[in-house]
Amino acid sequence: MSWEAVYLKAYKQGYLAERIEKSWQILEACTLCPRACRVNRLKGERGFCRGGLLPEVSSYAPHFGEERPLVGQTGSGTIFFTHCNLGCLFCQNYEISHLGEGRAVSIDRLAKMMIELQALGCLNINFVTPTHFVPQILKALPLAIEWGLQIPLVYNTSGYDSLETLSLLDGIIDIYMPDFKFIKPEIARALAQAPDYPEVAKAALREMHRQVGDLVIDDKGRARRGLLVRHLVLPAGLAGTAEVVRFLAEEISKDTYINIMDQYRPCGEVKRGSVLDRYITREEYEEAVAAALACGLHRLDQRERWRLIW
């Protein structure tokens, strides 16, 4: 079966241009994410995420640590955006999300990054933490398309996404890869200053699945379209893993492709001696996997597990 990235149709039929215009208008009083800071980013004002008018990039390169269907033999073409609209105090990319490691680039340069990654043989363009730069990504796409971009686009997000912004991406994004981080508002408040995260993430996951469905993998093992969910297991059950996987199985799909991640490590603003000041145990990880399987989830990403304390 031949595949064509969905954004090519959007470009040909003209609605990509419409989405660019609508997204750019949002920047005048920014409501791209649920925080709705309403700052005028067109004039350089910055809200919670600290994103400005130009896209800010920490790094871009083929990445081989992503999920198996995204990587293949040639890697996923990751573009790591600087800053974040969620702000987890234990963020595993703290230097990028909190400390602002990266630099502003032009729209043209962002488009060229996509082309360079495709030329290196990457299976996809993987936008990491893209929520606060959606208008800039959309604006770069026509240039990249005119220069030959044709591989799938991956929207790799914390899950803290507004339905308004996701509607702009309908028919543009091929693969959604959201986190589902926390199930309890009090934990989301304490760890990410976002007590509304659980309900926002649930609504976002429903919308993403409506747009792209379950993950479709071709006969060569490559992800082509669909939803892929990540869940990071936290110490002492803080993430509410059992409830997270139950939601996915019962309200999204039992065919949801999920990566239950074991790579939590104390970093960022984690306080010495706190409940978060340790790696997860083998038993905690095994309980998480067992909970997913018990709910009927069966498409679990299989990768080498090496960070656990055995």
| Structure-model confidence comparison of residues 157 and 309, the more confident one | 157
Compute φ and ψ for 309, nearest 5 degrees.
Answer: -85, 115
pLDDT at 129: 97
pLDDT in tens, 236-258: 999 999 999 999 999 999 999 99
**CA nearest to 5, candidates 209, 138, 130, 172:** 172
pLDDT at 117: 98
In single-letter form, the type of residue at position 187 comes to I
pLDDT at 304: 52
**CA nearest to 205, candidates 263, 147, 166, 149:** 166
**CA nearest to 123, candidates 57, 194, 201, 68:** 68
Every domain of the chain and the residues it spans: 6-300
pLDDT in tens, 124-162: 999 999 999 999 999 999 999 999 999 999 999 999 999
Cα atoms in the 13 Å half-sphere on the side-chain side of 240: 16
Instruction: Quote the CATH superfamily of domain 6-300.
Output: Aldolase class I (3.20.20.70)
Question: Strand, helix or coil at 103?
Answer: strand
Average pLDDT over residues 80-95: 95
pLDDT at 303: 62
Q: Is the pLDDT confidence value at 307 over 50?
A: no
Q: Quote the tokens at residue 192.
A: 């990410």
Cβ pair 205, 227 in contact under 8 A: yes
pLDDT in tens, 25-64: 999 999 999 999 999 999 999 999 999 999 999 999 999 9
**CA nearest to 168, candidates 199, 146, 145, 136:** 136
**CA nearest to 173, candidates 140, 127, 123:** 127
**CA nearest to 13, candidates 170, 228, 226:** 170
Q: Is the pLDDT confidence value at 309 over 90?
A: no
How far apart are the C-alpha atoms of 271 and 83, rounded to whole Å? 22
> Length of the chain, please?
310
Dmax over Cα atoms in the chain, in whole Å? Answer: 56
pLDDT at 160: 98
Query: In the chain, what is the straight-line distance between the N-terminal and C-terminal CA atoms, in Å?
Result: 44
pLDDT in tens, 170-223: 999 999 999 999 999 999 999 999 999 999 999 999 999 999 999 999 999 999
**CA nearest to 162, candidates 187, 127, 197:** 197
Q: What percent of the chain has pLDDT over 90?
A: 96
Q: Quote the tokens at residue 101.
A: 């490691």
pLDDT at 3: 86
